[in-house]
Each structure stands twice: as structure tokens, then as C-alpha cells.
A and B are shown apart, each in its own frame.
Chain A
């Protein structure tokens, strides 16, 4: 019940956020020069043809009026119609959303798979060689551009070792899974340095605490102390770091999807910006905003699940 009420309040709270985003995106994209009609109709487009297309998509109306009709449609769940593809934006989003979700989930899972063991290793070997290596090496990842990491992974793991497809998304879930590893890893590598640092620090704090000393004194095995007592408590603060990172990495999908030719929302967004396909830019931005809101919400829920003392307000 407590969680449901919290969820309800938070969902209501997203409405003004999304409204604000819609205003900013709508007016910003229209401020940039460039005309979707001319882009679509080509070099020989007559003024009449351009005007006809403007009229068809309501681009001939004053900007505030265009915004109001966009908002009106939005209230009915209608994201508008793509000028370039002459297809409903919601249909296009539906086609592209799965690849982006796969990517974000894969990136998160891989980041956890890499970060947790390394952070545990570093925290339990504090000050020793293993700790120094774990703290230093991932930092290199922070300095490397995401697209470069992606290309290196392709050259090594796809072209040399042939362990994964070089790019694309495939058609079946099995193909999706094998296609998503390298792009997921690319994003994960960018996330791990911060995750490892945060988890290591909080683990060290927990390892020094009285209840861990007590647990050890009671004769619990090292593994049990680490997994059941230390990691669970240490992860509470790292969950926030993870949440912020995922929200931030929603933006990285733009680059990673392009490098790996994933048919996701990121590539669609870039194409739409280049072609001034206003309805698609607006629609995808809102979907991205919703994703960030959802990640933040999940972070809070995960917090509460891990630590019963945390109040959901």
C-alpha cells in the first residue's frame, strides 16, 4: 500500500516535468533553421509543393498554435505523424523501443557483473596490489570516448575472435541477445569506474562497522559476511549512483546505437533531427524523458526494498 501511494504521487509529479520538457523541445527544435518540407521534397520542390506540405502538417500555423495542437493530441495519447515517413510516431517508437530497452538492460546487467566482483575484491584487499589495480585500470575507461571503445570491441571480439556479430540487431531473441553484448559492454565499461569506486568505498565503511565485526566474531564464513551483510548494506548508496548513471546513459544510446547499427530510439532521434522531422524529435524526447523518470522511480523503489528504514515520500 505504502509503495502504491508513493508510485501514484510520483506519477502525478512527472506530469509537470514532461510538460516542461515538451515546451523546451518544441520551441528549441523550431528555433533551429531548416525546413522539413524542403529536405523531403528535394532540389526541385516548387513553392506550392512546399506550402502544401506545410499545410498538411500544420507547419503554416503560428508556433504557439502548433504547440497547443501538439499538446492536445498528446493528451489523447497521440504523438503525431512523422513528416519523413508519413507514419504515426507512436508506431515508429513501438518499432524502435525494444532495441533501446535491450541495450539499457544489457548495459546495466553487464556493468553490475563487472563492478560487483571487482569492488568486492578491492574492498576486501584494501591497500594491497589487487585494490590498486582495480581502482586504477577502470579509470582508463573514463578517459576513452564511447564510440572508440565500441569500435575497439568490434575489432577485437567480433572481427578477430568472431564471438559476436559486428553490428545490427538480428531478428530472433537469441540474435538480439548476441547482438546486444558488445554495445551493452561499451556502455557498461563507461559506467564501471564510478560504480566500482562507489561500491568499494561504501563496502569499506560497512566492513569497518560494528555489526560486521560481530558477525565475524560469531564465526560466520567470510563469504556469508560479504554477501549477506556487507554487500546488501553497501549497495544502498551505490544504487543511487547506478540510477543516475543509467539516466545519464540514456543519452549515450545515441552514440552507441549508431556505432553498432542498432535500430533503437537513439538512431531514430538523430535521423529525425537531421531531417527536421519535428513530430519524431518531440515524441522521442518525451519517451526518453519518461525513461529517465522511470529509472529514477525504480532507483527509489530498489532503495526501499534493500533498506526497510528508507521512507518513501
Chain B
């Protein structure tokens, strides 16, 4: 009995020692010490859910399919403008209703088929026809035509300033006409685009791999041979995988671990400027949140500096506007509400509930931000005579309750997808835009009118005036308590170079190289 056990123990230890030299994710480089090639492993908390670029809202999906699909335009690295990608340029008619785009020559799909205006027309028409997807970005488009293989003509129903920014969004990416002869279901199981990477495999819940597109139109890119996104739900495990060399990039390590990570050899940490804003949402369908004085009182009672310190470990700044500094037409002069207990008491005294009231904060269990925020807010509001209870439900249920507006006060955040404020502003302040003003039922006719006007205003100065007015009014109405702007945190191996995250959250892996 003893011998087999000893033999097994020895075998286990020996195999352990030998196998760790090859744990699957070190760059399998062909060069002799030169940068280039190799597999890049990115670890992340959640898996993608689908590759359907017209319907999916999960960032974990978007950041993957953006490596395969490309649009006519793309966001610039500073997140504030767009630049041509599959288009050479455009001409806009005098009545601002007809946009004529010329396509870049020599662009091919990874199947080898050339990209033509027919593919663009098919893709845009498909994107516009979805229901419950990203079609809201394309509502102004009246028609898309393909008069010749290198020209696309887009007509809009009314003058529409954000068109280029909308076209740069991933839902308007160019796919092969008729999905290359497949059904949409078949196509999205092994998608084809014009981008730097092509489909390899997806073990759902475990890992998804793309490989280099050897015939990519931008010659010389990408440098790496393949990229694998691995699902590692535990924050700590992701960090140690970078330290142990099993992965090269960790998507969004928690701020609490940043200092510790910075102290590790061979690990870099970057905080990329983002468009992420956190806020306290107040449901105006629930009394007394229909009262502007109550909302202002709560907004004044939030100690934003303390939140930045405790939740972000100092890695952020208090928010003054519901727009973020990296969004075009953000107004740094917006007189946002900041922490002021005296003013909070004044506002509450003027409200329908001068002596305070009882309310419930809807928090996601297991979400450290929600828990800390709820506790900080609870103690602040106590000074106003507001008794705030905390209701912990799990994240899926919290999401559901927020969306169906079955809450009183809660926390959420957003990031931008396009380089134009229109998407976010419409979503946030226009109750008819599908989300009831981001589930708050905020409804100010002047703000809505300004939003619609800004969509049809083409000159920059004119748009700035409108967006400044919207930001000021929204802050004054305290329709939400804006909390803070926080960066996107990324930890990665010092072997990685050329990795950059845009303020919209996406990244371009064709620019990444892996050293030895």
C-alpha cells in the first residue's frame, strides 16, 4: 500500500515542477529575442455573451468583436473626435441632409473578398432594423444607397450633427453582405470582418481566442499572433496571474489593489482617462424625490471627496456635471453641487418634508462600491433627519429593480460609446428615449428641447452653448447626484507595449507588441 502512494506523490510533485515551466500563455515567439508574435492573454472577470455587434450591450463582448469588425469612422485616441477608418472622407450637401462617403481602396474581409459599398449598405440597414439593440443611434438615417462600389450615400430625415460619431460605433461596423451567404446565427458563431483579428474559438465561460488576420489591409499590423481572453472571476486570481506570468493584461483590477500591484516587479499599472461617471439615481416616481429641494438636499449631503478617497483610493475626481471631462462639449464651468451640509439643511427645510423622511437605498450585494457608498450616504443623511435603510439584493435583481423603477434611491454608472454627447444626453434626460431618463423619470421640457436642437446644430460654438445650458440645468434640477469621475485601471506585464485604452473603454490590439 505504501509504495503506490509514494510513487504517486513523487509523480505529482515532479509533474508539478516540470509543467509549470510551460503553462500555456508565455509568448510562443518565433524571433530570437526580438519583439513580435506571441499570444497575448487578457484576464477578465466576465465572459463575452455574444458577437452580435448590433444587439449586445456587454463591454466584455464589445471589446472582443471590435478587434474583428471595423466601421467607416473610428473614435480618436483622446475620445473627443472621430477619424476615417474604412472611409476616405465625406461630402455633406448644403441642406445638410445628404452625406456622400468615399470608401478606402484595397480593404478586404478576412475571407479575401473585397469590401464594397454593398457591404456597407447591408450592414447599416441591418443595424437600423434591430429592435432593442443599438438602432437608436441611427434613428435619423432615412436611407443608405450604394451608387457605385466605392461610394455610399446616406440621407438623413433631418440635419443630424452626430452622424459621423454614430457611424463610428461598433453597431455600424461593416460586415459582408448577406453575412457572406450565412444566416445571422451562423455568422455570429464565427464572425468575419475587415479587422486586424479573425475568429478562432470560444469555450464559453472559459476563454475566447482570436488570431492575427494575415491579410489585414493596414500592412505590418498586428504584431501579435493571437489574443486570448480568459475568464477569471476572482480579483485576486487575476492579479496573481499577471505576477505569475500566466497572463499579460488584467482588465480593471480593483483600485484597492493598485498600490500593491505597482510594487510588483515586471508589472505595470496604468490609469487611462475614461468617460466613466458614477451617480446616485433618485426615482422621481417615488415621493418625496419628485421634490427638487429633496434631491438637491441629498446631492449637497454627499461627501464626494471622501468617496474618492475611500472608494477610489484617491484615483478619481468629484463630478460637477453628468457629462465627463473626456466627452466633447463637457463644460468644466458647470456649477455642480458639492458637499455642503449647511446648504443641504437649507434645501430640506424648503422641501415638502422639512423634518426628514424614511427611504431605502437599493444596493447590489457583494458590490463593494455600493456597500461603501450606502454607508457613507446613510451617515450623511442622518444629519438631515433622513433615515435611509439599505436593501441588499444580488446584482441581477438590483438591475431589474432599477430598470423597472421599483426603487427609491440607488447607485449606478455609465460610460460613453461614441465621441459625441448626444447618445448619453438623450438617454439621461429624455424620458421618451427608452430609459425614462435613465430610470429616474426626470422630465424637463426645456432640457429636452435643447437636446433636440443640439442634434441639428452643426457649428461647434452653437452646440457648446446648448450643451452648457443642458449641463447647468441638469445640475440645478439635481436629477441625479453626480459622484465622481474615475479612470479605467489596467495592470499588465512589462513585456506588453503599445497598449492604450480609449476614454470610451475600447482598445486596439493591432498596436500591441509582446517583448521577450
**Same assembly:** yes
A residues touching B (Cβ–Cβ < 8 Å)?
32-36, 38-46, 48-50, 82, 84-87, 92, 95-96, 109, 112-113, 116, 151, 154-155, 158-159, 162-168, 170-171, 174-175, 177-179, 181, 227, 231, 258-261, 263, 267-268, 270-271, 273-276
Partner of B206, one of A32, A95, A163, A270: A95
Closest to A169 in B: B206
In the assembled complex, the CB of B367 is this many whole angstroms from the nearest CB of chain A, namely: 11
Would you call B244 and A260 a contact (CB within 8 A)? no
Which residues of B, 411-461, contact A by the 8 Å Cβ criterion? 427, 434-435
Would you call A274 and B57 a contact (CB within 8 A)? no
Q: Does B95 have its Cβ within 8 Å of any Cβ on chain A?
A: no
Would you call B1 and A231 a contact (CB within 8 A)? yes
In the assembled complex, the CB of B401 is this many whole angstroms from the nearest CB of chain A, namely: 7
Would you call A227 and B2 a contact (CB within 8 A)? yes
Which residues of B, 268-286, contact A by the 8 Å Cβ criterion? none
Would you call A43 and B403 a contact (CB within 8 A)? yes
In the assembled complex, the CB of A173 is this many whole angstroms from the nearest CB of chain B, namely: 9
Partner of B23, one of A46, A82, A159, A175: A175
Would you call B232 and A261 a contact (CB within 8 A)? yes
Would you call B399 and A34 a contact (CB within 8 A)? yes
A212 vs B128: C-alpha distance when bound (angstroms): 84
In the assembled complex, the CB of A177 is this many whole angstroms from the nearest CB of chain B, namely: 5
Partner of B12, one of A44, A167, A177: A177
Binary per-residue interface labels of chain B (367-409) against chain A in the complex, 1 for a CB within 8 Å, 0 otherwise: 0000000000000000000000000011111011101000000
A40 vs B205: C-alpha distance when bound (angstroms): 15
Would you call A267 and B205 a contact (CB within 8 A)? yes
Would you call B132 and A261 a contact (CB within 8 A)? no
A36 vs B400: C-alpha distance when bound (angstroms): 9
Most buried by B among A40, A163, A168, A170: A168
A259 contacts which chain B residues (CB < 8 A)? 234, 236-237
Partner of B434, one of A44, A85, A116: A44
Closest to A178 in B: B19
Binary per-residue interface labels of chain B (23-38) against chain A in the complex, 1 for a CB within 8 Å, 0 otherwise: 1100000000000000
Closest to B439 in A: A43
Partner of A168, one of B9, B236, B241, B243: B241
A96 vs B47: C-alpha distance when bound (angstroms): 15
In the assembled complex, the CB of A242 is this many whole angstroms from the nearest CB of chain B, namely: 15
Q: Does B49 have its Cβ within 8 Å of any Cβ on chain A?
A: yes
Closest to B58 in A: A42
Partner of B400, one of A35, A178, A271: A35
Would you call A34 and B403 a contact (CB within 8 A)? no
A86 contacts which chain B residues (CB < 8 A)? 50
Would you call B435 and A39 a contact (CB within 8 A)? no
Partner of B49, one of A40, A151, A227: A40
Assuming A87-B204, A227-B1, is B233 touching A261 (CB within 8 A)? yes
Assuming A42-B57, A46-B131, A168-B246, is B240 touching A32 (CB within 8 A)? no
B333 contacts which chain A residues (CB < 8 A)? none
A166 vs B207: C-alpha distance when bound (angstroms): 17
Would you call B19 and A168 a contact (CB within 8 A)? no
Assuming A38-B400, A162-B20, A177-B16, is B232 touching A167 (CB within 8 A)? yes
B399 contacts which chain A residues (CB < 8 A)? 34, 38-39
Would you call A34 and B396 a contact (CB within 8 A)? yes
A–B complex contacts, Cβ < 8 Å, 10 sampled = A33-B397, A44-B434, A87-B204, A96-B206, A155-B240, A163-B17, A179-B23, A258-B234, A268-B205, A270-B233
Assuming A39-B396, A258-B233, A261-B234, is B246 touching A163 (CB within 8 A)? no
Would you call B8 and A46 a contact (CB within 8 A)? no
A261 vs B241: C-alpha distance when bound (angstroms): 10
In the assembled complex, the CB of B347 is this many whole angstroms from the nearest CB of chain A, namely: 30
Would you call B131 and A174 a contact (CB within 8 A)? no
B43 contacts which chain A residues (CB < 8 A)? 261
B131 contacts which chain A residues (CB < 8 A)? 46, 48-49
Closest to B16 in A: A178
Would you call B396 and A175 a contact (CB within 8 A)? no
B46 contacts which chain A residues (CB < 8 A)? 271
A268 vs B240: C-alpha distance when bound (angstroms): 21
Q: A44-B134, A174-B18 are in contact. List 13 more A-B contacts (CB 8 A).
A: A38-B400, A84-B49, A95-B203, A95-B204, A109-B8, A159-B240, A164-B16, A168-B23, A181-B12, A261-B231, A263-B203, A267-B231, A271-B46
A230 vs B77: C-alpha distance when bound (angstroms): 73
Assuming A34-B397, A49-B131, is B233 touching A151 (CB within 8 A)? no
A88 vs B516: C-alpha distance when bound (angstroms): 41
Closest to A53 in B: B132
A166 contacts which chain B residues (CB < 8 A)? 237, 240-241, 243-244, 246
In the assembled complex, the CB of A28 is this many whole angstroms from the nearest CB of chain B, namely: 13
Closest to B234 in A: A258
Would you call A43 and B435 a contact (CB within 8 A)? yes
B234 contacts which chain A residues (CB < 8 A)? 258-259, 261
Would you call A45 and B132 a contact (CB within 8 A)? yes
Would you call A167 and B237 a contact (CB within 8 A)? yes
A164 vs B16: C-alpha distance when bound (angstroms): 6
Would you call A92 and B204 a contact (CB within 8 A)? yes
Would you call B400 and A274 a contact (CB within 8 A)? no
A84 vs B246: C-alpha distance when bound (angstroms): 28
A96 contacts which chain B residues (CB < 8 A)? 205-206
Q: Does B259 have its Cβ within 8 Å of any Cβ on chain A?
A: no
Would you call A163 and B205 a contact (CB within 8 A)? no
Closest to B244 in A: A166
Closest to A228 in B: B1
Would you call A275 and B396 a contact (CB within 8 A)? yes
Would you call A44 and B136 a contact (CB within 8 A)? yes
Q: Does B56 have its Cβ within 8 Å of any Cβ on chain A?
A: yes
A84 vs B204: C-alpha distance when bound (angstroms): 10
Closest to B396 in A: A34
A42 vs B49: C-alpha distance when bound (angstroms): 11
Assuming A175-B19, A271-B233, is B243 touching A48 (CB within 8 A)? no
Would you call A159 and B205 a contact (CB within 8 A)? no
Most buried by A among B244, B401, B427: B244
Partner of B246, one of A49, A155, A167: A167
A267 contacts which chain B residues (CB < 8 A)? 205, 231, 233
